[in-house]
Structure 1
Amino acid sequence: MQKLETKPLTLIVLGFHALSDPLRLQVLDLLRSQERCVCDLCEALEVTQSKLSFHLKALKEADLVRARQQGRWIYYSLNLPQLVVLEQYLAEYRRFSPMVPVRVCRDD
């Protein structure tokens, strides 16, 4: 496996940490199809804005979502290139590790 630079490694760690929370995964699922306003996310997830802002901060620090302000609202969208970075990181393990064969159980 290639040696990773400190900044990309930090983003990988932050990315997997961000993905470890069920609410943050729900946020990402909601953002799959379109950009959403924070108020829409709160409504869809049935959480307060203060609770959601904590989780959005973790997603932004991991560079998994992007935020843009329009008027008084902030809109969030997926940062797909960073999700690809996490996917490629995991793919390196699959590429260089021996694959475990699927075991078939037989009824005797």
Structure 2
Amino acid sequence: MSKQERVVLGQDTAGGCCPGLLTAPLTEEQATDLARVFKALGDPVRLRLLSMIASREGGEVCVCDLTPAFDLSQPTISHHLKLLRQAGLIDCERRGTWVYYWLLPETTDRIAGILTRPGRSATAEASS
């Protein structure tokens, strides 16, 4: 696996988390990083791939199980997975001829934290 630049949301020089959108404006760097993640999520195929990976029992899935779910070529699926990896949403490991993928929940948790209104949890939002 090649070393690719990954977006790391919510990390500043003090090691804290970036503010929610409703508590303080994002810095230019935070907005650029967040836009890369949203761009990766802005495609239906990538959203489906992320959902398939995240919902997989055992926490990881082989690319051989992802490809048949789409009417796309294997190189196209690999390209979409690469974009999700570069956005820091998933990671992978090659095992023999197959590559296994898993969700990086720290990124999805940061996105949720950025989008959550102050003083409200995601469960409180869902019940209102």
TM-score (norm 1): 0.74
In structure 2, what is the equivalent of residue 100 of structure 1? none
Aligned to 1:95: 118
Given that 1:59 and 1:65 are in contact with CA atoms closer than 8 Å, whether structure 2 keeps it comes out as yes
What letter is aligned with 2:63? Answer: V
Report the number of matched residues. 93
Distance 1:20 1:88 in 2: 19
User: Who is 1:57 aligned against?
Assistant: 82
| 1:104 aligned partner | none
2:53 aligned with 1:31? yes
- Give ranges in structure 2 of 5+ residues lacking alignment: 1-22, 120-128
Output the CA distance in 2 between the equivalents of 1:49 and 1:29.
Answer: 18
CA–CA distance in 2 between the matches of 1:67 and 1:10? 24
Match of 2:109 among 80, 84, 103: 84
Offset at 1:70?
0.6
Structure with the higher helix share, 1 or 2: 1
2:84 & 2:32 partners in 1: Cα distance?
13
Structure 1 residue 10: Cα displacement: 3.7
CA distance in 1, matches of 2:63, 2:33: 23
TM-score of the superposition, structure 2-length normalised? 0.64
User: Which structure exhibits the higher relative contact order, with contacts defined as CA atoms closer than 8 Å and separated by 6 or more residues?
Assistant: 2
Per-residue deviation at 1:11? 3.2
Q: Distance in 1 between matches of 2:33 and 2:67?
A: 26
Unaligned runs of 5+ in 1: 97-108
